[in-house]
Chain A
Amino acid sequence: MNRLTVKLIALLTALVAVTTACGAGNAGSSDPTHLTWGWGMPSSWDPVASTAGADVHSLSLVYSGLTKQDPDGKAVPEAAKSWAYNDDGSAITFTLRDGLKFSDGTALDATAVKKSLERGRDAEYSTKRAQLAIIASIDVLSPTEVRLTLTQPDYQIPDLLAGLTGMIVSPKAFESDPKSLATKPVGSGPFELTSYTPGSEAQLKKYDGYYNAADIHIKTLTQKQPADDSVIIAGLQSGQYDIAVIPPSQVEAAKKAGFDVDVNKVLTVRTLDINNTVAPFDNPKVVEAIKYALDRKALVDKAFFGFGDPNYQPFPSGYVANNPALDNLYPHDVKKAKSLLAEAGYPNGVDLTLTSYDTGGLAEQIVSQLGEAGINVKIQTLPLAQASQQIYIKREAPFALDSFSGRESPAQAMEVLFGPEGLMNLGRNTPPEVVTAMQKISTTPTDDPSYPTVVQDAVAVAVKAMPNAFLFSWPRIFARNKDVKGFTPYIGAQRFDGTKIEAS
């Protein structure tokens, strides 16, 4: 017996030793042309079927759009080298770069653009139908010129097409087998996918046919599912990632471990969706009381370790649509909240139910803050899929803790939040002045000097008239190995143009 035990222990020790020896070569990558990026896998590699806004980061690796967002969120040329509107803004002609090809070797020409956009607009399974419904017809004027005729004047098209909505997919791929695109994308972006394990990792290699290939210095890229928050820094330390998205709770640990940390402003904002056609929210004073009762700074400090900016509007500071005049629209004022509540006919407080899919403690903090003003809130927590059904589709949750990830076009973002059919406009009732202000955004050319003022004015009109309560802008935080140089944080889809790995 003893001999057997000794044998077993010896075997196990040998096993561990062999494993350790084999593993040593895997930990850490010193290849200066390879980058491992810790970022979640997309819901689909097909932009038309993608259901998650965050997919834009992965899909931007493999697809080009006619336009893309620059680091500040402005639409700039990508596959199209230029564009021009007709006189009344009801049609836009894009001129493509010469000689572009998809990674399957077929030409990215005006016909491909037409077919690709038409699939996004018309396919029954498309998640982009609503966004592309503005396009009435698409005409191929020449192999490099394509004209989009719109159902109404809209100068936001270059912005609209700068994300998932405008990514150009090889017609050869979707005409033969559209389902295969979920795991085998065919685009013309900086990289092409060489292998993909859902839920785990995607291997990509540089695509030399990308128009800006000269500025892509990474030859191979691994996009790797980040591990649990608690061990993400350990993953960076052991060389599993060169750069990874980390939660606010890990920022200190990342800095202590010697990593560079980028806290980037992005278009994500936490919100409370409110249906103001349902009692007691149909009384504007109740909604206002909620807005004054919230201590946004405390929410950011407690739930997000101070990373985030208290906000009263949907756009972060520095973005074209951010209106600085709204910076302290509803200061934390419990007294005022109580008196508003009393004026609304609830001197002894009011009982509400908050629907939430957030399990990070934010809902509980909100409940405690509102409680101080006499707003007694019960929390109903649902899984994400069920919550979106309940909140957006059935509209049975009149008060919900939500998050808005922004859109490439400010007009489109406002449409979702405030528009008469807007997903997050739970009451589906938009006052005429908001509709007018929003229409003015679409009918003002984005290069017109008045454009920033027009957008910011519309934001001011909307956030004062609409019930949505904005809480804080949510940053995207990257921890980065010091050898990763030339990395530029983007407000929208993250890109790696110009990024290099150089030993410091």
Chain B
Amino acid sequence: MTAAAVLDASPKLSARPRTLSPLLALARGIGTIVAVLLFASFGTFALGAIAGSSPGAVALGSDATPAAIAAFDHNVGYDRPMIVRYVDWLTSALSGDLGTSWFSGIPVAKSLADRLPVSLSLAGLALLIAIVVGGAAGILAGMRRRTIVDRAITVTSGALSTLPPFVAGIGLIVIFSVGLGALPSGGYVPATAGFGTWLSFLILPAVALSLDAACEITRQLRTGIVSAMEENYVTGAVVRGLTPRRIMFGHVLRNAAGPALAVVGLHIPRLIGGAVVTEAVFALPGMGQLARDSALQGDIPVVQGILLVVLGLVLVSNTVVNVLLERLRPHAARADS
């Protein structure tokens, strides 16, 4: 039985301080993070070994002889049993040392430190656009349900959600980079080069990447609002003379936002790790590209490092979303009223 179910089943428990439920969700989240990290990192390790990738094979290139590869692998201790190597890696990883790329010789932690800001900037901005634009459109459509505004928003979001990011990306480049000459068509500069410049390189890929999430947020929020508006408590609130604004933001949205928030949680992994195609179209040096290249090269330490970071990010963001969902539950709010 989950913590949330316990809260539902027992009226006594729901009288506890409202912070408990988010705390339980947090604890559960952290437990999941540790278990999943261990399981997934071991899985990657094992898959790398099964695929026949080894430091010598990757570092010495295709011209190397099997003898040279074996000698190289022996020198770096790769001929030890896999479980020993895994424990070794895990111990180093816990102290912050993720090893060195077999392919480029660049420390994995450095590669990740280079790539993470790019991916986080892209995913963060895409998420912001999705929440702001998708949220606004969803609320608007829900408020004006079954009007021309609602229809227009529903049809537009339905159509846009079918656009894969690379098609949207190419379209945006053609319009804004080639047509208007307003924004760069690709590449990345860090925010230290100036906020405007940083944003100018990110805005097109972020918009392309956000479409799917934005449309889904719009649809979920609209549906949630429409069904919540038909609930008795809304009628009650209207009878009590509450302003439409207070009804919407104080009550309806609270009930209707759950599914949309869950959608946000589901999209975060796609925005961080799944931006491979968007990164390719816009030549962004993000984690997606690094993951793809490293996997193709059989560069296990890098794949392992990326896995660790992406998994960490996903689990942390999911935990945050779970905590927020708990916080949104109407009875959680009622508990202290």
Contacts and interface: CB of A to CB of B under 8 A. Distances in A.
Contacts of A4: 136
Label chain B's interface by main secondary structure: helix
B57 A393 contact: yes
A386 interface: yes
A228 B136 CA distance: 33
A392 B69 CA distance: 12
B166 A22 contact: no
Nearest to A421: B65
A8 B132 contact: yes
A227 B143 contact: no
A200 B188 contact: yes
A393 B68 CA distance: 11
Contacts of A125: 59-60, 72, 105
A199 to B, nearest CB: 4
B106 A198 contact: yes
Contacts, number: 198
Given A230-B281, A240-B186, A124 B71 contact: yes
B185 A228 contact: no
Nearest to B144: A2
A5 B4 CA distance: 33
Interface string B47-76: 000011100011111111110110110010
Contacts of B249: 1
Nearest to B200: A23
Nearest to A42: B104
A452 B165 CA distance: 53
Interface string A1-28: 1001100110110011011111110111
Nearest to A391: B62
A272 B170 CA distance: 35
A200 B111 contact: no
A384 interface: yes
Interface in B265-312: 280-285, 289-290, 293, 295-299
Contacts of A201: 187
Contact of A234 (B62, B115, B173, B296): B173
A228 B53 CA distance: 27
Contacts of B100: 179
A394 B296 CA distance: 18
Contacts of A237: 177-178, 185
Interface in B149-192: 166, 169-170, 173-174, 176-178, 180-188
A199 B290 contact: yes
A27 B143 contact: no
Contact of B104 (A22, A44, A131): A44
B166 A19 contact: no
B244 interface: yes
Interface of B: 51-53, 57-66, 68-69, 71-72, 75, 100, 103-106, 111, 114-115, 129, 132-133, 136, 139-140, 143, 166, 169-170, 173-174, 176-178, 180-188, 194, 196-197, 199-201, 203, 244-245, 248-249, 280-285, 289-290, 293, 295-299
Interface of A: 1, 4-5, 8-9, 11-12, 15-16, 18-24, 26-28, 43-44, 46, 49-52, 124-125, 127, 129-131, 179, 182-183, 197-201, 224-228, 230-231, 234-235, 237-238, 240, 383-386, 388-389, 392-394, 416, 421, 423
Please give me the 3 A-B residue pairs with the lowest Cβ-Cβ distance, nearest first. Answer: A22-B196, A23-B200, A385-B298
Given A19-B199, A127-B60, 12 more contacts: A1-B139, A12-B132, A19-B203, A23-B197, A50-B61, A125-B72, A199-B289, A200-B284, A234-B177, A234-B185, A238-B184, A385-B297
